Each structure stands twice: as C-alpha cells, then as structure tokens.
Amino acid sequence: MTTVLLVDDEPLVRVGFGMVLDSQPDLQVVGQAGDGAEAVALARELRPDVVVMDVRMPVLDGVGATAQIVAAGLPSRVLVLTTFDLDEHAFAALRAGASGFLLKNTQPADLLAAIRTVAAGDAVVSPRVTRRLLETFAGRLPDPAARDARLDPLTDREREVLALVARGWSNAEVAAELVLSELTVKTHVGRILGKTGLRDRTQAAVLAYETGLVRPEGG
C-alpha cells in the first residue's frame, strides 16, 4: 500500500484528489494539509511514501516545504503540482529535491501513474523536460566556475554517463553513444545516485547543471 499526503490550500482540490486516490486499492491518503508548514509537520508524523504538494500556498510555500522534507531525511518523495510546465516554482522545487512535477489540470489517470512512479523510486518528469526547465532558468544556477566537490566521487565514465542523462538521453541512447550495454549504463546510473546521495535521474540532471558538467545550449 502506497501512502499519500495531499497538500493544497484549496479544500476542494484536496477532496477531489482524495476521492481519486481512495478509489485505488493500492493507494491510501493518510493526511491532508492546507499549507507548507502543516505539510512538513504531517510528513514528519506520518512519513508518507509520497507527498503531493502544491507550490503556491500561504505560511510556507511548496518549495520551502519540499526543502524541509528533503533536509529532514524523510523517506517521503515529493510530487509538486504547478500551473505551467516552465514555471519558476517548478524549477525551484526540483532544486529543492522534488522528484518531479505535474500540471494541476492533469488527468486523474496521469496523477495516479505519477504517484505510483514516484513511490517506486523513479522520477516523474522526463529528463528532457527537466533539461528544458533548467535551461530556461539557467541564469539562476550557481556559477559553474566555482569549485564544487559533489562530482569528485565519480569516475570519468560516470561523469560521461551523467552528462548524457542530464541531456535527456535514455539508457539505450547512452549505451549506443558510449558503446556499452544498457545493463552497464543502468549500473553506472545507480552508482552515480549512490555516490551523490541523489534519489533519481531528475536530481542527477539538476546536479549536472549546477556543477557546470552540462551547460545550457548556447551558454
């Protein structure tokens, strides 16, 4: 059973999402919150598998709440809801540690699939969408010329794989480019995540841009 915490400042939105989720035998809504501060408190108490988080809320917004949940080392993965796919809040949420984002007008079937995907440990947002988002707001990333030790544990091959993953390439595409098997690429990706302490490919893409391993097109 996958447990879910719903966070939105609009009660009707929470009720609607709750009805969709509770209709599924493998999903259970264990709590609801109307702002980010309440979300953090409930996440600490309930330790849900997935937190479905709106970004625009009073008291503490979804970005700040996501950052606190991730910093607390909770097992919960955060799925952020945004209004636009190139929303600056989505960009900030990914940098804060969200495993992905969905548009608020997404279809119920897509919401359910996204929750299950996040709960399974995968990223919802495709690396290509992440790349487009990161390049849109690349000016807000740290100066890549500054020393960043987060890539130090990676081998040269792992850095090659990370750079291609950040460009939105699939394991099959990376394998073809580097003349490796898909299983080997999958192993490299797993080691990259393990060495950097990241949860998924979305966070790996963010890291690649933040450290300057990958530069925006034309940048």
74 dihedral zone (left: phi>0; alpha: psi -120 to 50; beta) = beta
Residues 102 and 20 both lie in one domain: yes
Confidence of residue 199 (pLDDT cuts 50, 70, 90): confident
Average pLDDT over residues 207-218: 79
183 band by pLDDT with thresholds 50, 70 and 90: very high
Q: Is 219 part of any domain?
A: no
CATH number of the domain at 157, please. 1.10.10.10
- Say yes or no: 93 and 157 in one domain: no
CA distance linking residue 62 with residue 7, whole number of Å:
8
Q: For the domain that residue 50 is a member of, what is the CATH number?
A: 3.40.50.2300
Residues 97 and 149 in one domain: no
Residues of the domain holding 172: 142-211
How many structural domains are present in the chain? 2
71 and 161, same domain (yes or no): no
Looking at the structure, tell me whether residues 11 and 60 fall in a common domain.
Answer: yes
In a domain, 129, yes or no: no
- For residues 92 and 45, what is the distance between their CA atoms, to the nearest angstrom? 25
Cα-based distances in Å from 15 to 56, 65, 160 = 18, 21, 45
Task: Tell me, yes or no, whether 97 and 191 share the same domain.
Answer: no
Confidence label for 219 from pLDDT (cuts 50, 70 and 90): very low
Asked if the structure places residue 152 within a domain, the reply is yes
> Considering the domain boundaries, does residue 218 fall inside one?
no
Domain co-membership, 33 together with 88:
yes
Encode pLDDT of 40-60 as tens digits.
Answer: 999 999 999 999 999 889 899
Residues 116 and 149 in one domain: no
Check whether residue 151 and residue 45 sit in a common domain. Answer: no
Q: pLDDT digits over 96-152, tens only?
A: 889 888 888 888 998 999 899 888 877 776 556 666 776 676 666 666 556 678 899
pTM, entire model:
0.76
